[in-house]
Amino acid sequence: MPRISLHDLVVEFPFQPYKCQEDYMNKVIECLQKKVNGILESPTGTGKTLCLLCSTLAWQEHFKDSISARKIAERLKGVELFPNRTMSSWGNSTTDGEASAYTDVPKIIYASRTHSQLSQVISELKNTSYRPRMCVLGSREQLCIHPEVMKQESSHGKIYMCKAKVAAHSCHFYNNVEEKSTDKDLASNILDIEDLVQTGNKHRVCPYYLARTLKQQADIIFMPYNYLLDTKSRRAHNIDLKGTVVIFDEAHNVERMCEESASFDLTPHDLASGIDAINLVLEEQAKIIQSSDPHENSMESTGSGLNLQLENIAKIKRTLLQLESAIDAVELPDSGNGITKEGRFIFDLFAEAQITFKKKAELLESLEQIIQFLGGGTRKMFNNTIGLQKLQDIIQTVFNMEPEDDKSSFVVGQMMSKYYRVHIHQDTSQQRQKQRVDLWSSAVAKKQGKTLSYWCFSPGYSMQELVRQGLRTIILTSGTLFPLTSFTMEMQIPFPISLENPHVIDKHQIWVGIVPKGPDGVLLSSAYERRFTVEYMSSLGKTIGNIARVVPHGLLVFFPSYPVLDKSLEHWRDHGFSSRIEDVKPMFVEPKGKRNFTEVMDAYYEKNICNKSNGAMFLAVCRGKASEGLDFADVNGRGVIITGLPFPPRMDPRVVLKMQFLDEMRAKHGSQTQYLSGQEWYRQQASRAVNQAVGRVIRHRHDYGAIFLCDHRFMQSDTRAQLPSWLRPHITVYDSFGHVIRDVSQFFRIAHKIMPAPSSRSLQRTIDIGKPSCHVSLSPGSFTSLKANNLDAHVPSLKRKLSGYDDGALSVVIDGTARVCVEYEQMLSTSLKKPVGLLDALEQTEKRNGEEESSVGGKKAAPLSALLLQHQKRLVSDHKGGRKKIKIVNKHGSEMVACLNQSSSSSSSRAALYMVSVKQTLSQSSYEVFMQTMQCYKAEDDFHAISSQLVSLFTEDPNKYTLLREFYQFVRPHHKKQFDELCHLVTGKGCGYKPEHELLREEKYPRAGTAVPGTSRHGEMATKVTLSSGSADQLDTELHLNNGGMYLSRTHASEGQFLLSNLKSGQVQLNHVKKKMNQKNPKKVEERCALKAECMKQSYPHSGPQERHQQFLSAYLTKVKKSLGQDKYQRFSTALSMYKKMDNYPAMVSEIADLFTENPEDYHLLRQFYKFIRPHHKHTFNQMFKDLTGMSCSDAEQKEEERDFITTASSNSIAEQSGAKEKSIEKQQM
């Protein structure tokens, strides 16, 4: 590697650095040597991460050399050890004369906003020649691998269960930490969060405590910067900052994080939750005292594990009630805007509840004991400690600054007023305070309380707190810190060294245009009064559609906020803009939650790297997950559209108070200072969000792209002045939209000719979802295998040891109705594996594989995007106002081109999208009938029955025709032709039937002679693109974005008339049956019993009750044997026999649950096993089944009986009609 001399030390760099990179490293080393703070801005894509790592690690090694040189000089007493190299060249001993031991070498703390950003930094570290001792800190949420702790829903539950197990030495992962921490491989390797978890699983050692142990000897420590800025987190992770070098990467977020870490909102629900938890402790302690011998038991509760007197626990409750009353006693104005007071008011308010500096320590200790008591993993009582934990954090925040001996608490309050404001307003949260009446208090809580907000408006408060810890140097760096003067002023600590770096790219690599008008001449403005007008949204849709035609590969579109994004998508869908845009590029929408984010991003990346694709479009919001930290290099981001200025919500109380605070600070210090005004800060927030978004395009020296600023307000000089300095010289303002298209087309033609093609090396994407990330790779055969978690991790009532746990697990749940584990298996070379994941609608051996819809040849079908799905999910969730229940793995494409030859996962995604569309379209009762119909078809292969139900469900409204045709993917091969004819007769369009669709996979691809598409003759994965045929030729592009389905054009079929007439003639009876079964309140229990008896009679018409029961058991065992196979059936039989002999329920249920939950289609067999359970175990088994499926065994049985009755009635109706028609024909012939 090249060796560069900077400031008398040698830096090893992976390549010859550019001048701006040398300047950057010079400034970093200067900060370190002079022990001063620095603020360094360098555009995204200039390699600042690599420069930071190489320069700081080179300085650290030089520092160690200086200590070595001093020790050698002391021993040699002035004699040179090497004549050709003087002792002084080993290190400057005058820089840090106080450093006399290697323990004095400053540690480097590298902090960024998220763990995904840290993973990228650690990946860069692996590319250098430096191999320091390192560690990365994370939370238990990310690092814990203990099965029981992972089952806890809340982070607080995980924390206290972990602490309890560690204290009791019952965690075998923790018990191995001390031994494994000295392992050289673990201590010397460079590990990110994902590597740490994999290492923990491999060596059976706790990653969380292993990281904390490695921290003691580490040269460089990586952590999210809230671990540093939040005093509570810093204490919890035992981070010693004395003498350290702290680097804040992506520091444009530091201002906000400093303020948020020192602020809180205390809601009535928080107080009510804390009081309820105290009540539980009081009740339990009272029971213990009453049941104990008064001569042997004092008021001490040591026997229960809680070293608190009952009187002291009652005092804590009284304190919380007094705090609640003090907050409620504050009078609010009639305007409803709340009331704001100086920061010192918080001390007066807490004093009314006897919470002061003097009593703080005692109260915190008592709360900690109660939280541990309630949060213990072995305690079966209610253990919701979130409210108490929040109260504990709030007390630590308020009383963080201890008064000195010569200062009173009043003086501390005066100091807090410099940074804080207290805001009290009516509670508007969704969580309401419950009315409580208990034996300890007869008072009934009010229906609506008040929220106490304690907001810090000066990031300098947290930064000064850091400096007081004895830091050596603080370095703030980012690509968007402009303007540096105001930024440093807000930090309120000195930054003697600063840098504003230019970019490393040339003029021909960047195109920037301000587009004030759309192609129709309408002014583009996302201002509040115009953002939701029909004219603006239509013009914006036309603008994006035209730009998409000239930008190759990936195109990013950033909106100011989610409401603007939602409203625009809704308008585009209703007025046809969506379909026209998707004719050019499929659209993917940034999900709000974390769970779907990885799948959406992977689908977007896959579409862009596909050689035969025109790329894709990703719609996101400024300040969202996609606008920061993600890498859209090369083809993943050739263009970015900014649709407006993302100003903060102007009427939000916190925004209003922040602006007032800044105006007051500026007035106090005079206009000659560099303090921002409130209005300047307001504009700066929007410009920094824009600058972060545009930084997604240019990611390295040889990257290129175009930036479209589609808002007329970018024409204003003060707005343009807020854009990055490296960007401003390239800006062009356009009066005509046609000139925009002309110039950008010319730009990409030139760039494509003169710029080198992107590297074809393996491309990995790490997404911040709080779990190990998925990867997309271009290398053949390197597909990541993701398997579903073991059942025990999701079913709280099923307690057994986890085996074979796969950390890369992915569970897919669709609204709790069908729980599906979709497995993405590696496609082996010559063996034909069972396809998995088509929502278990068909038997494994009869599923239509993805190759049927994406075989080689033919025109490529436009893929189904995430647009409608994500949009409707968000609207439904917002309308309900509750938790999102839909969680899907979304690959965004009913026929997504299998660029990496993963057709099985593509089919799975298409099926998942279809199920969500059906769920959103049908009513709850109709959806239940639909699910029962699918299960019945799977079990009985009755095509007439399922056809009658589908026609009944999907032909009432022509808008549902698409859902009927899309069901073609679930139809078994020998029914496909018949179903295609039926759809053509009912809807006027077929399903794209071809004769080869009637072949099973084994028939289409025999083991000898023909290789499965996607593999070579030798079994290696083929890299060619698999295109769709059949349906692709008949795709109606004007309507392909209709509720997740496709409209397929086809000529009339010649068969199917008889089936259709039967369906129509039997419709009256079917509707009667359906209406009867959909009644919400059955009159009598006897009716259900009669229904059950009727179903049993129809199933076993020639048997009595006892014989029918025996026949049922025999039929059940036959189904089990058929479903499980001979080997697993033997396990089932053994478990059942042992249960009969030994009555060992835990051993039996672990085996049975493991057998019947491997495939979700076997859940009904698990439910039916309830009949084998002995009476004293039925309740436990029923609870386990309810945890797993969301309904009890009896409810599931009732639904199955109703389904069977409907199916039987449907079949009988069709049979009767068929018989009547045959008799009529015979009469006519006679």
C-alpha pair distances (Å), 813 with each of 530, 817, 885: 39, 8, 8
Domain membership flag for residue 595: yes
Q: b/e per residue, 453-465, with b = 16+ CB within 10 A?
A: bbbbbbbbbbbeb
What is the spatial distance between Cα 141 and Cα 145, in angstroms, rounded to a whole number? 9
pTM: 0.62
- Residue 244 lies inside a defined structural domain of this protein: no
Distances (CA, A) of 1006 to 831, 852, 994, 1009: 10, 15, 19, 7
144 is in an annotated binding site: yes
Is the domain of 285 the same as that of 422? yes
* Token pair 């071809």 in the structure block, residue: 994
Q: Is 78 exposed, middle or buried (0-12, 13-18, 19+ CB in 10 A)?
A: exposed
Neighbouring-strand partners of residue 652: none
d(CA 540, CA 159) in angstroms, rounded, equals: 48
For every residue of 140-191, DSSP letters joined together read HHHH---HHHHT-SSHHHHHHHHHHHHHTT--HHHHTHHHHTT-HHHHHS--
543, 515 in Cβ contact below 8 A? yes
In a domain, 613, yes or no: yes
Considering only CA atoms, give the Rg of the chain: 34
Q: Which segments in the chain show pLDDT lower than 50?
A: 93-94, 296-303, 377-382, 432-446, 761-905, 1001-1086, 1088-1089, 1091
The stretches of 782-885 forming alpha helices (DSSP H) are 867-880
| Whole-number pLDDT of residue 318 | 94
448 in a structural domain = no
Q: Of 1025, 1049, 1065, which marks where a domain is finished?
A: 1065
Examine the domain organization and report whether 875 and 1003 are in the same domain. yes
Residue 563 within any structural domain of the chain: yes
Q: Is residue 106 part of a domain?
A: no
In the chain, the amino acid numbered 863 is P
Among 1065, 1083, 1101, residue at a domain's last position: 1065
The answer as to whether 289 is a domain residue is yes
C-alpha 158 chain-centroid distance: 19
Distance CA 3, CA 31 (A): 21
Domain span at residue 938?
Answer: 827-1065
Contacts of 1006 (CB under 8 A, 6+ apart): none
- Ligand-binding site membership of 936 (annotated): no
* Rounded Cα distance, 513 and 511, in Å: 7
What angle separates helix 1193-1229 from helix 1067-1077, to the nearest 10 degrees?
170
- The two three-digit tokens of residue 208, written as one number: 């969380």
What total of structural domains would you count in the chain? 4
- For position 685, which CATH number holds? 3.40.50.300
655 CB contacts (<8 Å, ≥6 apart)?
A: 648, 649, 682
Looking at the fold, whether 869 and 956 belong to one and the same domain comes out as yes
Residues 404 and 336 grouped into a single domain: yes
Calculate the alpha carbon distances from 881 to 59, 426, 595, 875 in Å.
54, 19, 19, 10
Dist CA 505 CA 240 (whole Å) = 40
Residue 194 inside a domain? The answer is no
Distance CA 647, CA 678 (A): 13
Same domain membership, residue 840 and residue 741: no
Amino acid identity of 1125? G
Convert 792-810 to b/e letters by CB count within 10 Å (16 or more is b).
bbbbeebebebeebeebbb
- 1099 & 1045 share domain: no
Instruction: For residues 1057 and 967, state if they share a domain.
Output: yes
The CA-atom distances, in angstroms, between 1145 and each of 232, 1132, 1141, 1191 are: 45, 14, 11, 21
What pLDDT does 1228 receive?
A: 57
Whether residue 1117 is found in the same domain as residue 1028: no
- Is residue 774 annotated as involved in ligand binding? no
- Residue 31 known to bind ligand: no
- Measured distance CA(637)–CA(633) in Å, rounded: 6
Are residues 1055 and 1096 both part of a single domain? no
Q: For residue 743, which of 479, 954, 551 has the smallest C-alpha distance?
A: 551
Query: Of 569, 686, 704, whose CA–CA distance to 633 is shortest?
Result: 704
Phi, psi of 135 (to 5 degrees): -155, 160
Co-location of 378 and 418 in the same domain: yes
Domain co-membership, 855 together with 965: yes
Which ranges constitute the DSSP H helices of 12-146? 19-34, 48-76, 115-126, 140-143
Task: For residue 1221, give the nearest of 1055, 1056, 1065, 1053 by alpha carbon.
Answer: 1065
Whether residues 699 and 740 fall in one domain: yes
- Count of other CB atoms within 10 angstroms of residue 546: 18
Instruction: Identify the domain boundary among 426, 444, 473.
Output: 426
